[in-house]
Amino acid sequence: MKIEPKKFRVSENEKVRLKQWPTRVKPFYKTDGQYKKVLAEHIKELSRQQGMLYANNRYALLLIFQAMDAAGKDGAIKHVMSGINPQGCQVFSFKHPGAEELAHDFLWRTARCLPERGRIGIFNRSYYEEVLVVRVHPEFLDAEGLPAECLNDKKLWEHRYRSITEYERHLHRNGTRIVKFFLHLSREEQRRRFLARINDLEKNWKFSQTDLTERNLWKEYQAAYEECLAGTSTDYAPWYIVPADDKENARLIISQIVLDTLKDLKMSYPEVSEDRRKELLAIRKELK
């Protein structure tokens, strides 16, 4: 069954009601073996595309992952990027900002981590936290040291969306392709995964008290996500709402979307000129 990325894509200016977006869809695999086979095919092709991205050295690809806790961001990143040459790919995780980061505008800390041309950059959480966790926890906004007119700005969140979309447009214009994934998890599945993390000793480290406090703010987070997805999904940097209750299926969907994005760049290995080819053939003779 073909995975159609369009089905998961938020159109520009589309209103988002998360309850209407599935957290589970009919799986794109029938057996575990088939899942592995399809993922391996995606990865093989991804690796080929990444080789061309690197060789062409013109475009960069930025993948952004956002989700509630235990939605499977880390696993998706690990599995989907597993076949990729580590030289061409970098992952950055963004946690609570430190003092130096708070002393700058909210895009600063991530700007330093953007992928170079020819590379794939992955943000595990991102500047989107600034309209999600910061919106749900106004005390984080207070800690950002903003001038009063910013804090009193009634359109503060809207203005942050605009800062983000303008920034992404700028990046797009200069050769960075951006794809954003929201891993859409149901509250019930999160409960199950938290319990699994508690029951399994080896997974205990993954669970923290704050996971529970954030879970209790589920509604607030869903509302912040809805507005954020609607306010920042654009043709040049679209959001995809990926059903995440089935981790394997989510990985297949994500890898397909990344693959399609790279294929859209219609890359090939750089061609060499007649003269250069002649030179190479002469060198070959010498080597022999």
Interaction site with Mg ion (CB under 5 A) = 69
Dig out the tokens for 244 from the structure. Answer: 């995440």
Q: Among candidates 76, 162, 166, 165, which has minimal Cα distance to 122? A: 76
Beta bridge partners of 181: 65, 240
Q: Which of 60, 66, 69, 123 binds ligand ATP (CB under 6 A)?
A: 69
Residue 91 binds ligand ATP, judged by CB under 6 A:
no
Q: Among candidates 37, 41, 69, 125, which has minimal Cα distance to 244? A: 69
- In sequence order, which residues have a C-beta less than 8 Å from that of residue 139 and are 6 or more positions away? none
Helix locations, the chain, DSSP H:
32-56, 73-80, 99-102, 108-111, 133-136, 138-142, 148-151, 156-173, 187-199, 209-215, 218-232, 247-263, 274-287
- Give min distance, CB of 237 to ligand ATP, in A: 19
Of 32-40, 129-137, 146-154, 278-286, the window that binds ligand ATP (rule: CB under 6 A) is: 129-137
Residue 94 binds ligand ATP, judged by CB under 6 A:
yes
Of 56-64, 91-99, 184-192, 232-240, the window that binds ligand ATP (rule: CB under 6 A) is: 91-99
Of 40-48, 132-140, 192-200, 246-254, the window that binds ligand ATP (rule: CB under 6 A) is: 132-140
Question: Do the Cβ atoms of 124 and 65 come closer than 8 Å?
Answer: yes
- In sequence order, which residues have a C-beta less than 8 Å from that of residue 6 and are 6 or more positions away? none
- Compute how many residues bind ligand ATP; rule: CB under 6 A: 15
What's the CA gap between 250 and 76, in Å, rounded?
A: 8
- Give min distance, CB of 214 to Mg ion, in A: 8
- Give min distance, CB of 247 to Mg ion, in A: 16
What's the CA gap between 208 and 167, in Å, rounded?
A: 33
Q: Which of 38, 39, 122, 134 binds ligand ATP (CB under 6 A)?
A: 134
DSSP 225-278: HHHHHHHH--SSS-EEEEE-SSHHHHHHHHHHHHHHHHHTT---PPPPPHHHHH
Q: What would the x/- binding string for ligand ATP be over residues 169 to 208, using CB under 6 A?
A: -------------------------------------x--
* Comparison of 82 and 213: residue with beta carbon closer to Mg ion: 213
- Give min distance, CB of 82 to ligand ATP, in A: 18
* Comparison of 59 and 207: residue with beta carbon closer to Mg ion: 207
Q: Which of 96, 162, 192, 276 binds ligand ATP (CB under 6 A)?
A: 96
Q: Which residues bind ligand ATP (CB under 6 A)?
A: 69, 73-74, 94-97, 124-125, 129-130, 133-134, 140, 206
